[in-house]
Structure 1
Amino acid sequence: MNRNFYKDVLFGVAVGDALGVPVEFKLREDIAKKPVTDMTGFGTYGQPPGTWSDDSSLTFCLADVLADGYSLQKIADSFVNWLYNEQWTARGEVFDVGMATRVAIERVLHKVRPDLAGEFDESSNGNGSLMRILPLLFYIKDKPVKERFAIAKEVSSITHGHVRSVIACFYYLEFARSLLANNDPESVYQKVKTEVSSFLEGTTINPDEIALFDRLLKGDIYMLPVTEIQSSGYVLHTLEAAIWCLLTTTNYSEAVLKSVNLGLDTDTTAAVTGGLAGLIYGFESIPEHWVLMLARKNDIDALAERLASKYKRN
């Protein structure tokens, strides 16, 4: 089958994001009283159905630059254009920005080097780089592992420079890379466990940082009950929740809705889950009425085509 992975990724992220926007910050217990089962609107931000947030905006900014080739400065500049000029916003306004992301983009605006713009301290490990990193897959997929890690680090560091955020982005991209060749999430999970562990243990990264990923790298996260899965804006929570949702569901809709119904950072958890679910099940598996409601769907489609023409193997 001739899959359009570019479309799978971009729509996978954006639809998950838009499903989560109306209930962002709601507690799991409150959502459970009326679970999300479809695309809705006018919730947390008063936005119409199909409106995606900063997660998708920054994903599209990255993809837009990559469609012309890799340039860290241009990626950082596109984030500035999003924050200050509404580039790649769903409906012409920026309505949801993480504090670390905002501060880092302001630094870029003031000519700080992009890979030094994000904070490097331990308290700056929100999910703001993980949520936007997936299109980088298409640029790094055929490069050696050390280079894949180095480029993931560079792109994460525009907003989040701490090694924990970098490892999360690297793990996520490695998972996605394996899905390009094998769309069985459980076998990919086992493969990535071995390969990522082996790579990280061969680096100079503090073993205590690597150990924080043990539930993904040493355990079987899908065996955990929902009560053990957290869905805050902390990068490790988001990554764990996304992989857990993927491994405990069997289709795109089920995966992203499960993510949203975890509560709290609903848009980001569902965007991160949705990108991988798109790779597993394909664009055609996303309910058509969700795609039809999506803001700027034709622009997203055109962006996917630009990526395809740049990166598709002949």
Structure 2
Amino acid sequence: MKKSAILSGLMGVCVGDALGVPVEFSSRQERLQNPITTMTGQGTYRQPPGTWSDDSSLTLCLADSLCQGYNLKTIADSFSRWRYQQEWTPHGVVFDIGGTTNQAIRNILNGVNPVEAGETHERSNGNGSLMRILPMVYLASTVSFYQLIQWVHECSCLTHAHVRSQIGCGIYISIAVKLLQGLDLKSAYLEGIEAVKPIYYHPSLTVETSRFERVLTGKIDQLSMGQIESSGYVIHTLEASLWCLLTTSSYAEAVLKAVNLGEDTDTTAAVTGGLAGLYYGWENIPSEWVEQIARKDDIIALADRLEQAIFSTTES
């Protein structure tokens, strides 16, 4: 793992998220007529430039928890502290939270086992677990791939326990693993989906796996913009993020393309930005954007702590 990979991924998520926050819920037509080209502020939530949303907050909560090793209760407690004690918020207030995530955190506080806290019905397949799952990839050097994906599933279940959300997270992390290994974008995509097929191509999962056909055929990048949706549905976000990543040639181009798809702009760009950060590296995220990111120094310090924790685990 490249020494800066943790910072690259975490900052990749936060910058993409912050680019999308001011225009969340705007239509694609609005974005095509008035595209976002740089970091802005105000807009939807009336926040200053560089403000990230719950997407990054929960990503940073997860990363912080992983400094102590993988423990689902520790992660769940961190999510609760964010919701009710404003831990890992950009400016000391929670200004955005998905309904499914909110209910899951309430369940945890009411004593529900964390792995059973997330809702399981079909209508609870928003992108709320996918948007925060990236830090799990940093455990790839410490456990088997199969174990990693099982942990990813558990981590999704904290808030989004339907198998569709679990599969979305698993595919995303599998591709991220290949990027960490240094593969080019298309190879990481193709090898990433091949790696999870033995897990997901199981008779009991046939119906759910078929919903990911456009990703699992290895041809998502061949679709037109008109065929890509950018709502808050987990499959739409996974498809859109991979499409943006595979049809661009820089970090900036990838995340701006994601924002300008409209609708769930912050999450599409955060999910895109995590993978783009891993691939292009910290040094290729525009510095003028990074400088505006809320709590930039805290994020850098967190990346250092997690890096030290991971390397101490692999060396022992």
TM value normalised by structure 1? 0.97
Q: Report the counterpart of residue 37 of structure 2 in structure 1.
A: 37
Q: How far apart are residue 204 of structure 1 and its match?
A: 5.2
**Unaligned segments of structure 1, at least 5 residues:** none
Q: How far apart are residue 144 of structure 1 and its match?
A: 2.4
Query: In 1, are the aligned partners of 2:64 and 2:302 still within 8 Å (CA)?
Result: yes
The 3 A distance-change label for structure 1 pair 14 and 299 is same
Q: Report the counterpart of residue 299 of structure 1 in structure 2.
A: 298
**Unaligned segments of structure 2, at least 5 residues:** none
Query: In 1, are the aligned partners of 2:177 and 2:192 still within 8 Å (CA)?
Result: no
Query: In 2, are the aligned partners of 1:7 and 1:301 still within 8 Å (CA)?
Result: yes
Letter of the 1:45 counterpart:
Y
- Cα deviation digits, residues 123-148 of structure 1 (max 9, x gap): 11000000001101112444223312
Letter of the 1:18 counterpart:
A
Q: How far apart are residue 245 of structure 1 and its match?
A: 0.3
- Cα deviation digits, residues 112-164 of structure 1 (max 9, x gap): 10000000111110000000011011124442233122111111000000000
Q: Report the counterpart of residue 180 of structure 1 in structure 2.
A: 180
Q: Report the counterpart of residue 237 of structure 1 in structure 2.
A: 236
CA–CA separation in structure 1 for the residues paired with 2:115 and 2:193: 27
Q: Report the counterpart of residue 308 of structure 2 in structure 1.
A: 309
Matched pairs, number:
313
The 3 A distance-change label for structure 1 pair 187 and 2 is closer
Q: How much identity, in percent, do the aligned residues show? A: 53
CA–CA separation in structure 2 for the residues paired with 1:267 and 1:141: 29
- Cα deviation digits, residues 225-265 of structure 1 (max 9, x gap): 00000000000000000000000000000000000000000
Alignment of 1:87-236 (within 5 A): 87-201=87-201, 203=202, 205-236=204-235
Query: In 2, are the aligned partners of 1:183 and 1:279 still within 8 Å (CA)?
Result: no
Q: How far apart are residue 187 of structure 1 and its match?
A: 1.0
- Cα deviation digits, residues 87-124 of structure 1 (max 9, x gap): 00000110110000000001011111000000011111
Query: In 2, are the aligned partners of 1:22 and 1:40 still within 8 Å (CA)?
Result: yes
Query: In 2, are the aligned partners of 1:245 and 1:273 still within 8 Å (CA)?
Result: yes
Q: How far apart are residue 3 of structure 1 and its match?
A: 3.9
Letter of the 2:116 counterpart:
L
SS in 1 for 2:143: coil
CA–CA separation in structure 1 for the residues paired with 2:72 and 2:220: 34
Q: How far apart are residue 292 of structure 1 and its match?
A: 0.5
CA–CA separation in structure 1 for the residues paired with 2:204 and 2:259: 33
Letter of the 1:250 counterpart:
S
Instruction: Give the CA RMSD over aligned residues.
Output: 1.3
CA–CA separation in structure 1 for the residues paired with 2:70 and 2:2: 25
Q: How far apart are residue 197 of structure 1 and its match?
A: 1.9
Q: Report the counterpart of residue 47 of structure 2 in structure 1.
A: 47
Query: In 2, are the aligned partners of 1:3 and 1:282 still within 8 Å (CA)?
Result: no
Q: Report the counterpart of residue 7 of structure 2 in structure 1.
A: 7
